């Protein structure tokens, strides 16, 4: 195991935070934390890397990590080439890998950070993060603000990491993105885990059924039309015909948590 988190809790004065988060991450695996904005994803990562002090719980991290924060701040006065040199002064990075990512994303080494678009600045931060020599890559909303082509490119680079014997802890609020990249997922809402496991197992666990108005169903409401309601329910609790439920259907229904 590269990372073990046990009953991690961090509550802010506002009352928001995370409560008793538990999971493990091993080599060669991508684990995503999926949840809406404000669910507590960033808080979990900051507690793991030491930027926040947990109220309770245990974090065991075995190895070096590379961290992409939620706020991708860089030195605006520096050129892209200078940002590489600055980064090399305090962490070990693979120059060739960083330069290849930047070249593939068409970011000039001579350009100043201040002149980069939001997406380009994020891509630069990603190039610096993904080229670091680490055992665990902790990525907080890595594709936010990227155009579709850049997003697809970065996701392919992330999917390559496990083949190097490394691990990835990844946060996102984009269900389709998580399904494409991850082995396992933790779904959180309001600071608590509402479902977790291998994505294929979760898709196998839940199915969709249609119910007439007024009919009681033990499940999570997905759609409410003028004629019927569509629910996502656990397969072993279905007494009737059902249809497969997509991963996005399952996640949306669980997060809404509207039950019959």
* HEC sequence for the chain: CCEEEEEEEEECCCCCEEEEEEEEECCCCEEEEECCCCCCHHHHHHHHHCCCCCCEEEEEECCCEEEECCCCCCCCCCEHHHHHHHHHCCCCECHHHHHHHHHHCCCCCCCEHHHCCHHHHHHHHHHHHHCECCCEEEEECCCCCCCHHHHHHHHHHHHHHHHHCCEEEEEECCHHHHHHHCCEEEEEECCEEEEEEEHHHHHHHEEEEEEECCCCCCCEEEEECCCEEEEEEEHHHCCCCCEECCHHHHHHHHHHCCEC
- CATH number for the domain that contains residue 57: 3.40.50.300
pLDDT at residue 239, rounded to an integer: 66
Of 255, 259, 257, 258, the closest CA to residue 34 belongs to 255
Answer yes or no: do 26 and 124 share one domain.
yes
Confidence (pLDDT) at 68 = 94
Q: Is 144 exposed, middle or buried (0-12, 13-18, 19+ CB in 10 A)?
A: middle
Looking at residue 237, its pLDDT comes to 81
Residue 217's pLDDT is what? 78
Q: Which one of 167, 190, 213 terminates a domain?
A: 190
Going residue by residue through the chain, which has 260 residues, state the pLDDT in tens, using 9 for 90 and above: 899 999 999 999 888 899 999 999 999 999 999 998 889 999 999 999 999 999 999 999 999 999 999 888 888 999 999 999 999 998 999 989 999 999 999 999 999 999 999 999 999 999 999 999 999 999 999 998 899 999 999 999 999 999 999 999 999 888 999 999 999 999 999 999 999 999 999 999 999 998 887 777 788 989 888 778 899 999 888 766 788 999 999 999 999 876 65
Q: Given this model, what pLDDT does residue 260 score?
A: 53
Same domain, 153 and 250: no
Query: Do residues 208 and 161 share a domain?
Result: no
Asked whether 97 and 129 are in contact (CB, 8 A), the reply is: no
Query: How many domains does one find in the chain?
Result: 2
* 196 part of a folded domain: no
Contact between 155 and 26 (Cβ < 8 Å): no
Domain check: are 125 and 28 in the same one? yes
198 part of a folded domain: no
- Distance CA(89)–CA(5), nearest Å, equals 31
Per the domain annotation, does 195 fall within a domain?
Answer: no
pLDDT of residue 37: 85
216/117 same-domain check: no
Domain that holds residue 213: 203-256
**What pLDDT does 259 receive?**
61
For residue 63, is it within any domain? yes
Tokens at 168, concatenated: 């990835």
């Amino acid at each position: 195991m590269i990372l073990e988190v046990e009953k991690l809790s961090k509550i802010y004065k506002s009352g928001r935070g995370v409560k008793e988060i538990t999971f493990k991450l091993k080599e060669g695996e991508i684990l995503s934390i999926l949840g809406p904005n404000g669910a507590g994803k960033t808080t979990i990562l900051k507690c793991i890397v030491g930027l926040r002090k947990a109220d309770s719980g245990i974090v065991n991290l075995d190895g070096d990590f590379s961290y992409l924060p939620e706020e991708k701040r860089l030195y605006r006065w520096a050129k892209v080439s200078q940002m590489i040199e600055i980064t090399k002064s305090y962490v070990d990075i693979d120059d060739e890998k960083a330069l290849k990512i930047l070249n593939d994303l068409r970011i000039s080494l001579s350009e100043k950070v201040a002149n980069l678009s939001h997406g380009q600045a994020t891509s630069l931060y990603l190039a610096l993060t993904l080229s670091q020599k680490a055992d665990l890559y902790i990525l907080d909303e890595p594709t936010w603000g990227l155009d579709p082509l850049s997003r697809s490119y970065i996701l392919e680079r992330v999917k390559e990491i496990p083949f190097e014997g490394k691990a990835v802890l990844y946060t996102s609020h984009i269900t389709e993105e998580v399904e494409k990249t991850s082995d396992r997922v933790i779904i959180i809402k309001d600071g608590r885990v509402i479902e977790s496991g291998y994505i294929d197992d979760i898709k196998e666990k839940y199915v969709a059924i249609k119910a007439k108005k007024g009919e009681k169903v033990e499940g999570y409401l997905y759609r409410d039309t003028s004629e019927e309601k569509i629910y996502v329910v656990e397969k072993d609790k279905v007494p009737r015909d059902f249809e497969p439920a997509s991963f996005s259907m399952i996640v949306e229904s669980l997060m809404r948590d509207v039950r019959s």
